[in-house]
Amino acid sequence: MYIYDTQVLKFFLIYFFYININYKMSETTGFFVADNKIPLKERYSVVPSSNGLSYDAQKLIEFYIPPTIKYFNPKNSYLEFDLEIKQPESATYNTRLQLDSLIGGQILLDTVRTYSGDKSELLEELRHYPVHVANKYAYHSTPTLRELRSINEGAGIWTPDARGTDGTTKSDCVNHKYTPYYSKVADGTTSTAFTNSNYYHQCKLKLPIHTGLFQNDKVVPCGLMNGLFVTILTSESKKCFRQLDSVSRWRRLKLNPKFHSVDGSIGAPVAWANGSTHDTFYVDPTNNNWSVENFPLVVGEAIGFSRDVTNAYKFSAVPKIKQIEVSGAGASKLLKITLNASVTLDAGGDTMFNASHNFLFSDSVSAETSYEPTYLMSDVNLVLNEVDMGAKAEADIAKDMREGKMMVYDFLSAQCYNHSQLKGDRVASISIPGNHARAKSIVATPVDASVYSTRDAISGSGTYIINSNADDIRLQSSQSGVAGISNRLTEYFWFYDGKNQPSRNVKTSKISGQKSVDAIALLETDKAFFQADMPSLQMTRYNENFVVSRALGVNKGVYSMIGKDCRLNVHYQDVANAPSKDMNWCNMVYHVRRINIRADSISVEV
């Protein structure tokens, strides 16, 4: 006697029924063959830039995609180039520089435009491209995506070797051992200056293009549009470069190397007394500074000492690192730093004690009168995932076009509308003149509109304060002009369709107060990003990349803005804390665009 599991029997009955039905319905031999599928051949085609061999800041890169590339899959296509970044040749001091840790090489692209091949029609234009990508990468992010962006796009990544051990928040801008921009310092005694020729090198980046057309999942009929013409305007230098958070005075000071003593004694460390002169000192192993290759400062770096950000110790001259080495072993192991000359601690200042928690920071950028690093992009190519639709499918399409039929191509795009607001404007009504027939959502990003020198933008001196607390001491923005700032916003509401949306004002005072979160504001952000096809997978950067958002439809629906008055009303009503920065609102309206393709013309519906 056999005992059968009823669920197993049910599975096999359904399975064989499915095979039998599919086999009978199929006109070809074999199982699981769908009759309406066209077998496709794919290959990657390289389209080089057409107007130069190399490009630096504020240059226009042009690509012509010929109609011989009849169809391509845009989402599998990408931009690739060789990149070399350099410190200023005239700089007195050395430091480690890299691109933005959140978006990597995407920071180099300022504006992306796509035209039909004969330039008769502008299909899409995305200004403030880094703002759009920064919002996407801040919220649409997972550990896997961050690691992939680090490998392909040169973004930052947290590594165990550079982890903090002093209670700071986690940073992605600390990886200096496995970065693509320069070689790591070998373990052991080093006195080799960290110059362009000694350490910086060329790397290759591979960037997905985050415009609507190039993020679409539908094959682009390039041949039917007389080809495509793509232009990319590169970004100005001062928006691109960053120093490591682990050497910054203004970003997580407690993540930096910590001063130990001037004699290296474990039992009775000797302080650097005010008025005393030294050319060597020792670094505590806190924050993983137990080996030369882990140490974030470099030979030739100008350094300073501080325990509370606002007050730095004063010396008779700028201390400059000459040599880094390991001293002692086991529990007595410390890093020994030798300066290029003896310096005297100001006699009128405080003594630097071991127990005072004094941290080193890089002064290489701030100590210069002017600091202008450069980048150079070369061998720039668009790599397209070309798709062969097959002779029959192409013949059918050509026949339909000759008969006067029209091909319709839809894709989700973004249009940026700007509005400037002074910090003294405590109430503002921001008009968004989007005249889009199928709008999905609005993501408004208030970026810092202050004018910073390249030196201050890189070092973070004077930039927007994201938070100030016991954990980080101070966290100032390194993404001025790119990341949104809450700037003491207390509440907001949208006005369209003749009424407030939502019906009650959305509170943001907890977020802008830097102490907590406002749940409704984050819920609004989540809905808007879902509508924009970049669903929020994390919210940890809600304060570093602040946005004000509104979903215009639900469940992927659309909303017509044609002839509608749409306004964002923002209130800054904190009596004790006024806004600290002027703002440039980058209001991204995500909407469905339609390209109408006929045999003799192309038109765009927005």
Preceding amide of 502 cis, omega within 30: yes
Position 31 scores a pLDDT of: 47
- Asked if residue 271 has pLDDT above 90, the reply is yes
Domain boundaries, the chain: 1-37, 41-244+374-605, 250-362
Helix (H) or strand (E) segment spanning residue 396: helix 391-402
pLDDT at 491: 97
pLDDT over 80 at 35, yes or no: no
Residue 234 has pLDDT above 50, yes or no: yes
- pLDDT of amino acid 79: 98
Work out the percent of the chain whose per-residue pLDDT is above 90. Answer: 84
For the stretch 486-521, pLDDT in tens is 999 999 999 999 999 999 999 999 999 988 899 999
Task: Determine what percent of the chain is predicted with pLDDT higher than 70.
Answer: 94
Angle formed at CA 364 by CA 362 and CA 370, multiple of 5 degrees: 140
Cα angle for residues 21, 23, 29 (degrees, 5° grid): 170
Query: What's the pLDDT at 39?
Result: 63
As a whole number of angstroms, the longest Cα–Cα distance in the chain is 99
Cα dihedral 137, 142, 146, 149 in deg (nearest 10): -70
For residues 535 and 550, give the distance between their C-alpha atoms in angstroms, rounded to a whole number.
Answer: 14
Give pLDDT tens digits for 524-538. 999 999 999 999 999
Under a CB-based contact definition with an 8 Å cutoff, are residues 555 and 547 in contact?
no
β-bridge pairing 567-571 and 374-388: unpaired
Token pair recorded at residue 283: 């670094």
| Residue 15 region by backbone torsions, left for phi larger than 0, else alpha for psi between -120 and 50, else beta | alpha
Sequence-distant (≥ 6) Cβ neighbours of residue 471 within 8 angstroms: 167, 168, 169, 254
Contact 260, 281 (CB under 8 A): yes
| Average pLDDT score over residue span 463-488 | 95
Residue 8 has pLDDT above 90, yes or no: no
How many Å apart are CA 267 and CA 464, to the nearest integer?
A: 41
- Cα separation, 76 vs 80, in Å, equals 13
Cα separation, 155 vs 148, whole angstroms: 9
Which whole number is the average pLDDT over 283-302?
95
Mean pLDDT, range 568-593, rounded to an integer: 97
Segment holding 524, helix H or strand E: helix 519-531
Average pLDDT over residues 168-185: 95
- Six-digit token pair at 349? 């200042």
- In this structure, are strands 241-243 and 258-261 parallel, antiparallel, or unpaired? unpaired
The number of angstroms, rounded, from the C-alpha of 295 to the middle of its chain's C-alpha atoms is 25
Residues whose CB falls within 8 Å of the CB of residue 421, separated by 6 or more in sequence, listed in order:
428, 430, 446, 570, 582, 583, 584, 585
Going by the DSSP 8-state scheme, the letter that residue 307 receives in this structure is S
pLDDT at residue 32 tops 60? no
Of 100-104, 184-188, 191-195, the poorest mean pLDDT is in: 184-188
Q: What is the pLDDT of residue 2?
A: 37
Give the pair of three-digit tokens for residue 369: 């009168």
Predicted local distance difference test score (pLDDT) of residue 29: 47
Half-sphere exposure of 566 (CA within 13 A, CB side): 21
pLDDT digits (tens, 9 = 90+) for 305-344: 999 888 899 999 999 999 999 999 888 899 999 999 999 9
Q: Which amino acid is at 351?
A: T
CA torsion angle for 264, 267, 268, 271 (degrees, to 10)?
Answer: 40
Question: pLDDT tens digits, residue range 95-132?
Answer: 999 999 999 999 999 999 999 998 989 999 999 999 99
Higher local confidence (pLDDT), 24 or 161: 161
Rounded to the nearest 5 degrees, what angle is found at the Cα of 97, between the Cα atoms of 301 and 134? 145
The model's pLDDT over 375-430, given as tens digits with 9 standing for 90+, comes to 999 999 999 999 998 888 889 988 998 898 999 999 999 999 999 999 999 999 99
Q: How far is CA 115 from CA 57, 121, 166, 282, in A?
A: 23, 6, 52, 59
DSSP-H helix ranges across 124-260: 129-139, 143-153
pLDDT over threshold 70, residue 19: no
